[in-house]
Amino acid sequence: MIAREWDVPDEVNEGDTVTIHLRDDPPHLWHDGDPVIAQDVVTQNRLQYYQGTPIWDFIDEVEAVDEYTVEYTVARDTNRDVFMANVLPQQITVKHDIYEEYLTAFEEADGEDEEDAALADLLNWRIELDDLVANGPFVPQEATAQRMFADRFEDYNAPANLDHIESVYDADWQIPNFPHFEWLFADEEEELPNFQARNWDGSRANPNIGENDIPTDFYEYRPDLQDLGESLGFNFDDEYLGQREVRQAIAHVVDRKEVTEVMNAQGQTQDYIDQQVPTTVTGMADNHAEEWLGNNLDDYETYNNGENTDEHLERATELLESVGFTQDGDTWMTPDGEVWRPEFRCPPAWEKSTDPTVSVLRRFGIEAELTVDEAGAHWGNVIPERNFDGIGHIWIPLGGTGYHPWAYYEEQLRLATRDDPGYPIVLSEEIEVPETIGDPDSDSMTVNIPERVTELAQPLDDDQVREITAELAWVYNQVVPQIPLRRHSEAPCVNVEEFVWPERHSTLDEFINWSSEVMAHGGLRAKYEGE
């Protein structure tokens, strides 16, 4: 943690000042020995402004008041939790004297063309490992596509104990007491043999590895549901999948429980599998949908969650026929009389979820095709060019920014209205849906997604938050931009024979994405002799 203190008003209103005090006694250090200072933060935030980063939805100005003090000017009245979730959890990776020339290019740009050129220069810049200046407890020494090797930064100082922690960062941070670590990028088939041979000190276990497969005298198996998972998304410009009735039909066909079971084909208990099946389609994880929608959750269409599958398939047939599709034997034909062959694409990481989904569609008579792209081509060409009908994607109901409902719909709906070339789903800002929640045949109403999501981030009372949340959940439920296929369950296996990991279900354990962040946050140490 680079900040030692922050002053955030109880009510965050337009024009307010929020002050962040960085650690200065001793300061947090870059790996070249320089302190992390306020100007580093300002430079990072200003570069984010030119890149359109969402932090600038909440701030109007950022200023280095002195060497270790940053001041933000609030852009608009904002719910305090939402503001803190978007401004405080920043990872500072920009060192001012390295990135200053890129910021200067933006600030001196004369017109849009020069700004675009400055952005291209920044995005295309590649730094060599020997020139990398980072911060944190470890210094990368070697990095390839298969491994990273890092040495402990001997001048690293653990964050001071803070006396007014208000968030998940309230944790017992530790300085690592081992000299280096190696981080391997391994294929799934390599995992089980390496666990059984006790070659690794920790890893995520893929869903096909069960607790009984792991040597329990050496490892602790830590399964946890995550607020993310695999999904099936749609190209709204496609002639057929651009129609709401067709997307809803697909959602009635795809049995999410079946897909989840295929993804957990070996080594897992039924209870472990069942908890991963999304039972609702609201843009939220099921437990959060229950919390915010309460008894009204029954008003929302569940689509095919593995219950009453025959009824869902009948409904899918009705929906497809309502927009002109017909069947030739068991095969679905387009309104033009051609065999319907929607192409679904995914990178290798999502083949495991997209392949069984396509198989379910084919069994229903939709001659769906699956193309598995090389990862670079998928993200660099397929998504920016929207060269797909449907897409295997990732579903993040929280957007990584906290448990306020704003976070769900900023990620699930508003992001899709920004026409971000890196995001596959594109929605119009204004969407028509049935005006009565629970009655899909009611008259239409128009919902402006950016306006309603922005309103949800304002300081509202609980009833107002629930009203807007219910409306946006209804939009997601009826529009179906994505079908959540599975709520991902991480199953880290950690060496508890030789290391002390964050206590199970402690604040730090709940916060970290352990495999990538436990090292960065110093949440791990080797056991001492006799411990």
Q: Which of 226-235, 419-428, 521-530 has the lowest average pLDDT?
A: 521-530
Contact 283, 357 (CB under 8 A): no
CB-based contacts of 358, cutoff 8 Å, min separation 6 = 344, 368, 369, 370
R_g of the chain computed on alpha carbons: 25
pLDDT of residue 397: 60
Read off the pLDDT of residues 118-146 as tens digits, 9 standing for 90 and up: 999 998 898 889 889 999 888 999 988 88
pLDDT of residue 42: 98
pLDDT of residue 244: 97
Backbone phi and psi for residue 380, each to the nearest 5 degrees, phi listed first: -90, -25
pLDDT of residue 529: 76
Q: Which of 530, 527, 525, 528 is nearest to 137 (CA)?
A: 525
**Residue 405 to residue 468: CA distance in whole angstroms:** 9
In this predicted model, which residue has the larger pLDDT, 121 or 221?
121
- Return the amino acid letter for 345: R
**Residue 497 to residue 201: CA distance in whole angstroms:** 9
pLDDT of residue 138: 87
Read off the pLDDT of residues 263-295 as tens digits, 9 standing for 90 and up: 875 667 788 888 889 999 999 989 889 999 999
pLDDT value at 366 more than 50: yes
pLDDT of residue 110: 94
pLDDT value at 505 more than 80: no
Q: Which of 513, 531, 502, 530 is nearest to 224 (CA)?
A: 513
38: enclosing H helix or E strand: helix 38-50
Q: Which of 131-145, 385-399, 405-419 has the lowest average pLDDT?
A: 385-399
pLDDT of residue 441: 94
Contact 163, 55 (CB under 8 A): no
**Residue 232 to residue 239: CA distance in whole angstroms:** 17
In this predicted model, which residue has the larger pLDDT, 148 or 321?
321
pLDDT of residue 161: 41
**Residue 174 to residue 471: CA distance in whole angstroms:** 44
pLDDT of residue 402: 53
Q: Which of 478, 531, 66 is nearest to 247 (CA)?
A: 478
CB-based contacts of 126, cutoff 8 Å, min separation 6 = none
| Alpha helices per DSSP H over 131-278 | 191-196, 244-253, 256-263, 270-274
Q: Which of 96-100, 470-474, 507-511 has the lowest average pLDDT?
A: 507-511
pLDDT of residue 202: 82
pLDDT band (50, 70, 90) for residue 457: very high
**Residue 458 to residue 83: CA distance in whole angstroms:** 9
**Residue 392 to residue 346: CA distance in whole angstroms:** 5
What is the pTM for the complete model shown?
A: 0.84
Mean pLDDT for 202-228 is 77
Read off the pLDDT of residues 38-70 as tens digits, 9 standing for 90 and up: 999 999 999 999 988 889 999 999 999 999 999
pLDDT of residue 165: 38
Mean pLDDT for 375-391 is 93
- Return the amino acid letter for 523: G
DSSP assignment string, 258-274: HHHHHHT-SS--HHHHH
**Is there a cis peptide before residue 26, judged by omega within 30 degrees of 0?**
yes
pLDDT band (50, 70, 90) for residue 205: low
Contact 427, 452 (CB under 8 A): no
pLDDT of residue 178: 81
Q: Which of 466, 422, 423 is nearest to 412 (CA)?
A: 423
Read off the pLDDT of residues 172-194 as tens digits, 9 standing for 90 and up: 445 677 888 888 888 778 888 98
Q: Distance between the two ends of the chain, CA-based, in angstroms?
A: 28
Residue 173: how many CA atoms within 13 Å on its side-chain side? 22
Alpha-carbon distances, residue 510 vs 222, 227, 440 (angstroms): 11, 12, 39
Q: Which of 2, 1, 8 is nearest to 81 (CA)?
A: 8
Contact 334, 321 (CB under 8 A): no
Share of the chain above pLDDT 70, in %: 89
Read off the pLDDT of residues 151-172 as tens digits, 9 standing for 90 and up: 988 888 765 444 433 333 333 4
Contact 151, 141 (CB under 8 A): yes
pLDDT of residue 400: 47
Mean pLDDT for 435-443 is 96
Q: Which residues pair with 78 in a beta bridge?
A: 12
Mean pLDDT of the chain: 87
